[in-house]
Amino acid sequence: MNHTTRPSPAQRLARAHYGELARIGKVLSSPVRLQLLDLLRQGSRNVESLAEAAGVAVASSSQHRQQMRSARLVAAERQGQRVEYRLADEGVSAVFGALRVLAEALLPEMDRLGRELAVQPPEVREELLSRIRRGEVLLLDVRPVEEYRAGHLPGARCIPLPELPARLPELPRDREVVAYCRGPYCYMAGEAVALLRAAGYRASHLDLGVPDLRALRFPLSPGDGEPPPTSPPRPPPRPRSSPNPKSPRKNR
């Protein structure tokens, strides 16, 4: 005969915390919501920008945002006529990074994805980071401008990937170019390197994004408005000199 005892109040409270953890686990169970969280790791976004970057409809994005807000992973703030969404806490970004590391350790499919996206081994990353610290390469940030504005590697030039083919002449040919984007499984830096090499540049990619570098305590530039120009601005035209009507005429 099965005898069950009624749980004590303390036992019920202890069990209840699993339900709270499950609220976050439910949010993390959706590939679309994980993608939205990863985009928000790059910086805050408004509704339209977030949906466009994720490649989903605004209405679908809205449903996912509501669930993320319900679990307190995402916060919203009105900026003028628009609402900006951001991660509610830096711990959300840390959980995302830990989840990716766990998947890499346990799931064989991550190995295939890593090979196809040229995810680098730790020793290659560290060697490249050392060269970046020494200023031996030209850094190229190929993310959208709003992500660059939210934070970037010091001295990096901002040329979003869609603009790169037309703006290649802005890059010097006497230095190696290192492109970076959102992180190890982002395709943009790899495509940028392919474009650069096809055009005759020495190029490689750093497969760490700003959130990964922040977790490593690597020096970063905070958001600072407009990206720096890639070439010196032209000086404004000098005003033409005009005769002073009040000056006396010379006698002939």
Domain span including residue 137: 109-222
> How many other C-beta atoms can be found within 10 angstroms of the C-beta atom of residue 244?
7
Considering the domain architecture, whether residues 73 and 131 belong to the same structural domain is answered as no
Is residue 181 among the annotated active site residues? yes
Q: What is the CATH number of the domain that holds 85?
A: 1.10.10.10
Element holding 157 (H helix, E strand): strand 157-158
The domain tally of the chain equals 2
User: For the residues of 224-249, what is the DSSP string, one character each?
Assistant: -SSPPPSSPPPPPPPPPP---TTSPP
Residue 23 has pLDDT above 90, yes or no: yes
Q: pLDDT tens digits for 27-72?
A: 999 999 999 999 999 999 999 999 999 999 999 999 999 999 999 9
115 and 68, same structural domain?
no
pTM: 0.82
Whether residues 132 and 56 share a domain: the answer is: no
Q: Name residues whose C-beta falls within 8 Å of residue 232's C-beta, 6 or more positions apart in sequence.
A: none
156 SS3 class: coil
Catalytic residue among 159, 179, 181, 193: 181
pLDDT band at 2, cuts 50/70/90?
low
pLDDT in tens, 198-244: 999 999 999 999 999 999 999 999 865 444 444 433 344 444 444 44
- Predicted local distance difference test score (pLDDT) of residue 222: 81
| pLDDT (tens digit per residue) in 61-99 | 999 999 999 999 999 998 888 899 999 999 999 999 999
